[in-house]
Amino acid sequence: MNDESSKIQEKAVDANMPAADNETAYPQEFPGNPARRNFMKASAMAGLAGAGGALMGGLALPHKALAAEAGAIPEDYVAPGKLDEYYSFSSGGQSGEIRIIGVPSMRELIRVPVFNPDFTIGWGITNESKRVLGKDFPPGGDCHHPHMSQTHGHYDGRYIFINDKANPRLARIRCDVMRTDKIIEIPNVQAFHGLRVQREPHTGYVFANGEFIIPSPNDGRDLDDPKKYWTLHTAVNGETMEVAWQVLVDGNLDNTDCDYAGKYSAATCYNSEKAVDLAGMMQSERDWVVVFNIARIEEAVRQGKFKTIGKSKVPVVDGRHGSPLTLYIPVPKNPHGINASPDGKYVTANGKLSPTVTVMSWSKIDDYFAGKLKNPRDVVVAEPQLGLGPLHTAYDNRGNAYTTLFIDSQIAKWNIQDAIDAYAGKKVNYLRQKLDVAYQPGHCHSSMGETRDADGRWLISLNKFSKDRFLPVGPLHPDNDQLIDISGDQMKLVADGPVYSEPHDTILVHRRVLMNKIKRIWDRKDPFFAETVALAKRHGITLEKDSKVIRQGRKVFVYMTSSAPKYGLESFKVKKGDEVTVTVTNIDQVEDLSHGFCMSSYGINMEISPQETSSVTFVANKPGVYWYYCTFFCHALHLEMRGRMLVEA
């Protein structure tokens, strides 16, 4: 940096930056001085205030809230060897995976393959993963909404659930080993989009919205008769992963959330018109939020007041207009996100095409179902006007809400009680601040913000566009996850985090929820590979000790241990055309000591963590010598950790 430019940058910093909370000095001359990044960031932001603002459709406010003061340690700085305070579980979007990111450092810790094949751990290759994925699994997924199981409105650290919109599937990830352990298909729907978990008494139900309307059943009938297209709201039992019931609705379903009392789930609908074209879906001035009365639905199912669709045996109850099971609340056109406040009192629907957010009261919803209110709009207690393109809302623990404004590229911070008072006619300003983000945010999520433990510490804004924020890396740019400090009166932008497309949503979980629950090595009795262990037992094999080959006709079972830097078998012989199952057990007990098993030229690789058993089945269709080798650098003699498969012609 030459003198001239550093002067300009310093000026930009002075003009735009508030005093930092953290005054701790950090030596300027230190080569890794993290504050240097903030000089860069400040200058980039200063330039954007004009040109960028005009480009993105009018940014009225100056860029006040930026990063830490020059010389201070930035808030996202987590020193080498120190741990982040939060885990962010971020959906991988089109990649079909979940990513775990440390917050505030925004360092990616690991990826958990869910709907996607993954060559690192052999997801989609090993027999254990194929048992989860099912036969003929589609090659990927479109993940949007990761949510952790809860008990009495607190994260319980057991499972993460996530949707696949591309193929209507629900996946469950076990948090103790961060492994997907169950995937099911949601019947009778297309595009499973909104997902939330029951909070009270526990999860309980996982709620799933079918977004697209289709003929019912979708077997070739009513092909071009959209009036006969339908969709359903589904409840899955999160323990058994069985579909409990479905509710037929009018219109379509977008996002979903539920209350803190275990009484209701609710969903936004943007296509009340049941149109099949864009103009049609925007025709009505109002669409709606539909609320599902769980007790009444369960009772209807108990009384047999349901039908089934096609081959599915799932009970489907009728929740269309006029049904006592549902409540349709008109809201401004084409709403999107729906978010329950952590005080358990309210739920907001985000306007998208309307600059407003509609705040509804759960207790007024009680009153409606009890017959005390006649007009569905009577459950609305506020409708604050926030800006252009409200998509999703997050909450702190001080009565404030944070709404992403997609078109304005801003986060609007507003106070719920003030918005309620303003709706009642009082002269109060509910808007607290608007913060520019870069650019076009979809979801935002606050730390612990979807639980009773909302702590108002951090907010992550998941921005769809990064444009000029990073080095260009080709026409496809990364998304930009921005970290925002919401602990004070004013939101402060702390860091940019580039991410691979497209993490719609994330949750921010304090490490205390998980730190003592996560296993460092596998338990030999783990159900994830229990079936493989049972098969070995039938073959008379003790996996921890035995390395041998068992032939049953054209099926060959190859068992071997792995212990750095050796496999239990240095070679095995098969005949061309044999179906070979290789089962490897990592008998090392050392934390972090994974082995791999890659069969050269056979497209096979899998990872075996300490005390894990992994297996793979393939046809030895090429004669010759094929080396198998370890793919995880496990030992000084890791390169020597290999053996030969001899395939007789």
Q: Which run of H or E residues covers position 55? A: helix 35-55
Q: Are residues 359 and 380 in contact, defined by beta-carbon separation less than 8 angstroms?
A: yes
Q: How far is the CB of 611 from ligand CUA (least distance, A)?
A: 14
Of 75, 128, 436, 505, the residue at the interface with ligand K7E (CB under 6 A) is: 505
Size of the site for ligand CUA (CB under 6 A): 10
Q: Are residues 593 and 610 in contact, defined by beta-carbon separation less than 8 angstroms?
A: yes
Of 274, 443, 457, 492, the residue at the interface with ligand K7E (CB under 6 A) is: 443
Q: Which is nearer to ligand CUA, 279 or 636 (CB)?
A: 636
Q: Which is nearer to Ca ion, 227 or 307 (CB)?
A: 227
Is 435 near ligand CUA (CB under 6 A)? no
Is 143 near ligand CUA (CB under 6 A)? no
Q: Are residues 100 and 108 in contact, defined by beta-carbon separation less than 8 angstroms?
A: yes
Q: Which run of H or E residues covers position 410? A: strand 410-415
Site string for Ca ion, 297-336 (x = CB under 5 A): -------------------------------------x--
Q: How far is the CB of 506 from Ca ion (least distance, A)?
A: 27
Look at residue 255 and give the partner it binds from Ca ion, ligand CUA, ligand K7E, none, a contact being a CB closer than 5 to 8 Å depending on partner kind: ligand K7E
Q: Is the dihedral of CA 104, 110, 114, 118 positive or negative?
A: positive
Is 641 near ligand CUA (CB under 6 A)? yes
Is the preceding peptide bond at 204 cis, omega within 30 degrees of 0?
Answer: yes
Q: How far is the CB of 312 from ligand K7E (least distance, A)?
A: 25
Which residues neighbour 403 within 8 Å (Cβ) at sequence distance 6 or greater?
Answer: 348, 350, 357, 386, 390, 391, 392, 393, 411, 412, 414, 444
CA distance 84 to 92: 21
Contact segment (CB under 6 A) with ligand CUA among 115-123, 292-300, 619-627, 629-637 equals 629-637
Q: How far is the CB of 614 from ligand CUA (least distance, A)?
A: 13
Q: How far is the CB of 582 from ligand CUA (least distance, A)?
A: 15
Q: Which is nearer to ligand CUA, 210 or 643 (CB)?
A: 643
Is 196 near ligand K7E (CB under 6 A)? no
Look at residue 178 and give the partner it binds from Ca ion, ligand K7E, ligand CUA, none, a contact being a CB closer than 5 to 8 Å depending on partner kind: none
Q: How close are the terminal C-alpha atoms of the chain, in Å? A: 66
Q: How far is the CB of 191 from ligand K7E (least distance, A)?
A: 10
Write out the binding residues for ligand CUA, residues 543-602 only, by CB under 6 A: 564-565, 595
Q: Which is nearer to ligand CUA, 244 or 593 (CB)?
A: 593
Nearest residue to ligand K7E on Cβ basis:
442
SS3 3: helix
Question: In this structure, which amino acid lies at residue 472?
Answer: P
Size of the site for ligand K7E (CB under 6 A): 12
Q: Which is nearer to ligand K7E, 323 or 482 (CB)?
A: 482
Nearest residue to ligand CUA on Cβ basis:
630
Is 169 near ligand K7E (CB under 6 A)? no
Look at residue 287 and give the partner it binds from ligand K7E, ligand CUA, Ca ion, none, a contact being a CB closer than 5 to 8 Å depending on partner kind: Ca ion
Q: How far is the CB of 602 from ligand CUA (least distance, A)?
A: 18
Q: Which is nearer to ligand K7E, 251 or 503 (CB)?
A: 503
Q: Which is nearer to ligand CUA, 183 or 604 (CB)?
A: 604
Residue 241 phi/psi, 5-degree rounding, is 60, 35
Of 120, 638, 644, 646, the residue at the interface with ligand CUA (CB under 6 A) is: 638
Q: Which is nearer to Ca ion, 279 or 476 (CB)?
A: 279
Look at residue 641 and give the partner it binds from ligand K7E, Ca ion, ligand CUA, none, a contact being a CB closer than 5 to 8 Å depending on partner kind: ligand CUA
Look at residue 334 and give the partner it binds from Ca ion, ligand K7E, ligand CUA, none, a contact being a CB closer than 5 to 8 Å depending on partner kind: Ca ion
Q: How far is the CB of 291 from Ca ion (least distance, A)?
A: 18
Is 316 near ligand CUA (CB under 6 A)? no
Q: Which is nearer to ligand CUA, 504 or 595 (CB)?
A: 595
Look at residue 630 and give the partner it binds from ligand CUA, ligand K7E, Ca ion, none, a contact being a CB closer than 5 to 8 Å depending on partner kind: ligand CUA
Of 129, 203, 216, 255, the residue at the interface with ligand K7E (CB under 6 A) is: 255
Q: Which residue from 600, 581, 599, 598 is spatially nearest to 634, judged by alpha carbons?
A: 598
What's the 3-state SS for 288-341? EEEEEEHHHHHHHHHCCCCECCCCCCCCEEECCCCCCCEEEEEEECCCCCEEEC
Look at residue 144 and give the partner it binds from ligand CUA, Ca ion, ligand K7E, none, a contact being a CB closer than 5 to 8 Å depending on partner kind: ligand K7E
CA distance 626 to 106: 42
Write out the binding residues for ligand K7E, residues 133-152 only, by CB under 6 A: 144-145
Could you tell me how far CA 11 lies from the centroid of its own chain?
40
Cβ neighbours, 10 Å, residue 22: 12
Which residues neighbour 430 within 8 Å (Cβ) at sequence distance 6 or greater?
Answer: 382, 384, 414, 415, 416, 418, 419, 421, 422
Of 630, 643, 645, 647, the residue at the interface with ligand CUA (CB under 6 A) is: 630
Question: In this structure, which amino acid lies at residue 387?
Answer: G
Q: Which is nearer to ligand K7E, 147 or 336 (CB)?
A: 336
Cβ neighbours, 10 Å, residue 609: 22
Q: How far is the CB of 596 from ligand CUA (least distance, A)?
A: 6
CA distance 22 to 10: 18
Cβ neighbours, 10 Å, residue 51: 10
Q: Which residue from 249, 254, 243 is spatially nearest to 211, judged by alpha carbons?
A: 254
**Residues found in the chain:** 649
Contact segment (CB under 6 A) with ligand CUA among 286-294, 332-340, 373-381, 625-633 equals 625-633
Q: Which run of H or E residues covers position 130? A: helix 127-133
Of 41, 99, 199, 504, the residue at the interface with ligand K7E (CB under 6 A) is: 504
CA distance 381 to 401: 15
Write out the binding residues for Ca ion, residues 231-270 only, by CB under 5 A: 270
Q: Are residues 213 and 223 in contact, defined by beta-carbon separation less than 8 angstroms?
A: no
Is 336 near ligand K7E (CB under 6 A)? yes
Q: Are residues 182 and 134 in contact, defined by beta-carbon separation less than 8 angstroms?
A: no
Is 287 near Ca ion (CB under 5 A)? yes
- Between CA 267 and CA 445, with CA 385 as vertex, the angle to 5 degrees is 55
Is 193 near ligand K7E (CB under 6 A)? yes
Q: Is the dihedral of CA 485, 486, 489, 492 positive or negative?
A: positive
Residue 226 phi/psi, 5-degree rounding, is -55, -20
Which residues neighbour 262 within 8 Å (Cβ) at sequence distance 6 or greater?
Answer: 198, 199, 200, 201, 204, 294
For ligand K7E, the binding residues (CB under 6 A) are 144-145, 193, 255, 336-337, 391-392, 442-443, 504-505
For ligand CUA, the binding residues (CB under 6 A) are 564-565, 595, 630, 632-635, 638, 641
